Amino acid sequence: MHKKPTVIDFFCGAGGFSEGFRQQGFKIIQGIDNWSPAVKTFNHNFELNNTPQDILEFWDSVDLIEALPDTDVIIGSPPCISFSNSNRSGKADKALGLKLTEVFLRIVAVKKYRKRSVLKAWFMENVKNSLNYLPKSYTFRDLNLSHWSRQNGYSPNQIVITVEGNSEIVNSAEYGSAQARKRAIIGELIGKKALVVPDKTHTFHPSKVNKLQQARTLASIKNKLPKPNIKSSSRLVQDPSYNEIRIPLNQISDHFYDSGIYMCQWKNSLFMKQNHPYMGKMSFPEDENKPSRTVTATNIGTSREAIIYKSEFNRVGDGEYRVPTIREMACLMGFPLTYQFLGGSENTKSRLVGNAVCPAVSRSLANVVRKQLKLRNKVKPSVNPNADLEGVINLNTFSSKTFNKPPIKRPGSRFRRHPFKYGNITVTLSNYDVTNSKPSRKWMTSVQYGNGDGYPSINYEDGFYECVEPILQKFEEGQEFLEIINNGFLEKIANSKTLQRMYEFQKSEDQFIEPTALIEEVGKIINCFKLKNPNFEQDRLIIFDQKSTVPVKQVMALYAVNKIATITNEPADE
């Protein structure tokens, strides 16, 4: 029997990178990470006994690198947060991400160029944006190996790692995952001195020419798993991705609990997905007939990136929608049902799953290495058929959640909302100056033109609604709109201090409505009108100075929003 090729995994996390290689018959001999829950998870699933270790220690010590076991393959996935576009639009400090990458490549360089090297391949995974910050190549000197290179007969200026030409953006959905997750793969088959990109197995657009399978959908995972709100039982459940696995329902961990979210949370996600100031619309809830969007490490239900499902619990408002369970996330990533995540909380497990590498992608990379090693293609993946729940803190409760502790925002939190995006215009209520992002002592009205960050944004002074009112009176529907706004709606507007407090507590008080709901109501009122003449041709009186023709709905919105700002900014009675 041929000896199993070996793998060592750096920044191993929960072990998704290693799982794909194990499924292709590789032996995982070590995982290195500095986060205890990740190391415990890796040890549990690969029957190892690693301890947390800071990989930065390898930067100054070649001895530590040479003490590592020699393996056929080195894999690693340096933390991607500093490279990610989701981190304040990619403006985070990149220094740590670059350093961690260099430490990983330093280890690869030593193992690749040492005498009697056994290294056959290495691969590194990261967010696709990382390629914008990595150099085209690295020398021994770049990797702090000048002295070592001289000792081993190499020039310190010799190029040892080439990034350009040895990198590729891959989409996990094209390799059998039910998730469209794009990541950069950098690496090399040592024998070929190049990265060999695995052949795709799935496509978004199948045809007789490409003969690839249709990309798997979110529904292919979600509909094959038991519903999270059912009762415990011992009936067997088929793994949605691995035919070899059928386990009792009561052995499926981290799935049978209520992942419902508060109405203030899912409404914020709804707004960001379908009414974002300068980004396009997204499905709410998820379109289950397509591959899932990227599973994230936070799994919160408030963001534009959040994955949102309609809850199986029959509720309206709080808990009406939910985020995926940890098990659903894991299955979308491509982990088997038997794979366990060790952590004491949903947040910890979410981070373990969301930061992992999709096993479908690493399985394809492993298959490339098998071909290079002239090993027979492994059609059926090697997976653990049984669930080892010993020591696992299981999130299953088989009960519904009580929504009695709504999330509270930080004092002074910023607010920005518009009723709708229409005619390439938004009319915005905010508690800061949107035009320059500076704090403001009052609530403000502004208008944005265009659908991109940086497009013209104009502020309007309080009381400007008085200039808008005569225009609205000329419209057939304008008088009715004014009557609705000025009879009943105004009483719902609180003073500045109360409006801010309601926003932070995300809860209305007495007859007053918190600002997100206030702007939402403005949109609902305006959208009830079926306008005979939907556009307003500006003539002498210019209301929107960047347009000659504007939608009547935006004239209505400007009136309502400016009136809200004017009233809320009025000095409180002594």
Mean pLDDT for back-to-back runs of 10 residues, the chain (574 residues): 87 98 97 97 98 96 96 92 47 75 97 96 94 95 97 97 96 97 96 95 86 94 97 96 96 98 95 88 95 93 94 96 98 98 95 96 97 88 95 96 93 96 92 94 93 78 95 91 94 96 95 96 94 84 83 96 97 63
In a domain, 267, yes or no: no
Does residue 75 sit in the same domain as residue 173? yes
In a domain, 38, yes or no: yes
Does residue 86 sit in the same domain as residue 148? yes
Tokens at 440, concatenated: 């403001």
pTM exceeding the 0.85 threshold for the entire prediction: yes
Active-site residue identified among 80, 264, 331, 358: 80
Does residue 48 sit in the same domain as residue 191? yes
Does residue 360 sit in the same domain as residue 481? no
Does residue 367 sit in the same domain as residue 449? no
In a domain, 316, yes or no: no
Q: Where are the alpha helices (DSSP H) in 114-205?
A: 146-151
Classify residue 447 by burial, with Cβ atoms within 10 Å: 0-12, 13-18, 19+.
buried
CATH of the domain at 365: 3.40.50.150
In a domain, 23, yes or no: yes
In a domain, 246, yes or no: no
Q: Is the peptide bond before 198 cis (omega within 30 degrees of 0)?
A: no
Query: At 195, phi and psi to the nearest 5?
Result: -80, 130
Does residue 449 sit in the same domain as residue 368? no
Q: How does DSSP classify residue 487?
A: I
Tokens at 420, concatenated: 């709708």
In a domain, 489, yes or no: yes
Single out the residue of 334, 341, 314, 328 nearest to residue 257, CA to CA: 328
Euclidean distance between CA atoms 471 and 464, whole angstroms: 12
Does residue 204 sit in the same domain as residue 61? yes
532 lies in which domain range? 416-569
Number of domains in the chain: 2
In a domain, 398, yes or no: no
Does residue 144 sit in the same domain as residue 23? yes
Does residue 16 sit in the same domain as residue 106? yes
80 is known as an active-site residue: yes
Does residue 367 sit in the same domain as residue 430? no
In a domain, 441, yes or no: yes
Q: Do 409 and 506 form a contact (C-beta atoms < 8 A)?
A: yes
pLDDT score for 359:
97
pLDDT score for 574:
43
Which helix (H) or strand (E) covers residue 568, if one does?
A: helix 552-569
Secondary structure E strands in 163-301: 167-171, 182-189, 202-203, 213-214, 236-238, 246-248
Does residue 450 sit in the same domain as residue 523? yes
Does residue 447 sit in the same domain as residue 552? yes
Measuring CA to CA, how many Å separate 113 from each of 6, 255, 441? 18, 46, 62
Tokens at 70, concatenated: 């020699």
